[in-house]
Chain A
């Protein structure tokens, strides 16, 4: 089966750093995505990892370990607007194009 796990909720302080973990067990692997979703809105793309290691993009970084079935999203210098749900998603097969399996999302609350 397909299984993607991430914490349901997290709370952090403005200006701090927060790490959101994601573990996955899927029938195949051809990339892992992180999306940000504000309530009632569509997800917006944050990052993509297909090889092991860290991908950095401004205040956001994403890490992947394929052997461990593990990824994390690191958010630095947290801002109030970063309060949102963060979705981890795995693409099991390249041949199926954009078909993604999503985790349940991590609701991040940033407090002053």
Chain B
């Protein structure tokens, strides 16, 4: 079964609104989670690394004030897209690495964001 749960799976919103995406680790603690974005026909691009209890680390070119990341507990990280615009429409995916489960990353099911 899924070890990383992501909600919602699909969001349609009006331009200017904010959207929150949740990523939960199930039955394990994730001190670090990763947020990726994927545009159609393109690969996954790392946006930021979410660290429990501290500030997220953003990749170059990603606006930290626009993409707010909160990792308040060991099982939950949230990504909030603030004042969304049509160009923010994309597939957002979170991932986590489980200690002792080898090297693989577990991915959430993704969130398709469509901004009208």
Please give the residue numbers on chain A whose beta carbons come within 8 Å of chain B beta carbons, in ascending order: 31, 33, 40-45, 48, 50, 87, 89, 91, 96-105
Q: Does the CB pair B93–A42 fall under 8 Å?
A: yes
- How close is A41's CB to chain B, nearest CB, in angstroms? 7
A43 touches B32 (CB 8 A): no
In B73-100, the 8 Å CB interface with A consists of 91, 93, 95-97
B56–chain A nearest beta-carbon distance, Å: 13
List 7 extra interface pairs beyond A48-B103, A97-B32, A99-B49, CB under 8 A.
A41-B110, A43-B107, A48-B102, A87-B43, A87-B44, A99-B46, A105-B43
**Smallest CB gap from B6: residue in A:** A42
Q: Are A40 and B91 in contact (CB under 8 A)?
A: yes
A104 partner residues in chain B, CB cutoff 8 A? 42-43
- Contacts A87-B44, A98-B97, A102-B44 given; does A50 touch B112 at CB 8 Å: no
Let me know if B11 is at the binding interface, CB within 8 A.
Answer: no
Assess the B34–A98 pair: CB atoms within 8 A: yes
Instruction: Tell me whether A99 and B43 are in contact (CB under 8 A).
Output: no
Q: Which residues of B contact A96 (CB under 8 A)?
A: 49
User: B residues touching A (Cβ–Cβ < 8 Å)?
Assistant: 6, 32, 34, 36, 42-46, 49, 91, 93, 95-97, 102-110, 112
A-side contacts of B104, CB under 8 Å: 33, 45, 48
Contact call B107/A44, Cβ cutoff below 8 A = yes
6 inter-chain pairs at a CB distance below 8 angstroms, sorted by A residue, are: A42-B107, A42-B109, A43-B44, A45-B105, A45-B106, A99-B49
- How far does the alpha carbon of A69 sit from the alpha carbon of B90 in the complex, in Å? 31
Chain B neighbourhood of A101, CB < 8 A? 46
Contacts of B93 in A (CB 8 A): 42-43
A102 touches B110 (CB 8 A): no
- Determine the chain B residues whose CB is within 8 A of the CB of A50 once the complex forms: 103
A21 vs B79: C-alpha distance in the bound complex, in angstroms?
A: 34
Question: Do the beta carbons of B112 and A40 come within 8 Å of each other?
Answer: yes
B43 CB to nearest chain A CB (Å): 4
